[in-house]
Amino acid sequence: MVKKVISIFIVGMMLLSFTYTPEGKVTAAEASSSKVWWDGAELKPGQIGRVTILKENTLFMLDGRNLEPVRKLHPGEVYRVYSAKTPDGYVPMYGVGGKYYVVQNVYPNNTGHLKYETPSKSKLALVKQ
């Protein structure tokens, strides 16, 4: 009876080791699934991060060297980021797909209008597989 209880305890501990991991670690379930999840959203191939709109901002289309406003973005909206660049004389720009960009700061007083985050290296590596 004691051996059976110990065996069940050991098996339970082994199962727990596959389900709990600290932030940034990949679980066995994530490694075996075809989708990679990052804070409740699927991480797509080519995605390098995400932006969360904190204050009203503008979505731009980059046409050559011209930034054309497309529409207003509202607080709480979240967009996948596929590229990031800082052209000479410009502020950081985050590519959200196609020719569309969100600009970090349009004017000097526009700080804090969005939050840029990146996933862990292990999650990015899983997406590439």
Distance CA 60, CA 24 (A): 32
Helix H or strand E segment including 114: strand 114-117
Residue 20: the pLDDT is 43
How confident is the model over 41-84, as pLDDT tens digits? 899 999 999 999 998 889 999 888 788 999 999 999 999 999 99
User: Could you tell me if 61 and 68 are in contact, meaning their C-beta atoms sit under 8 angstroms apart?
Assistant: yes
Question: What number of H helices and E strands is found in the chain?
Answer: 3, 10
- With a threshold of 0.95, does the pTM exceed it? no
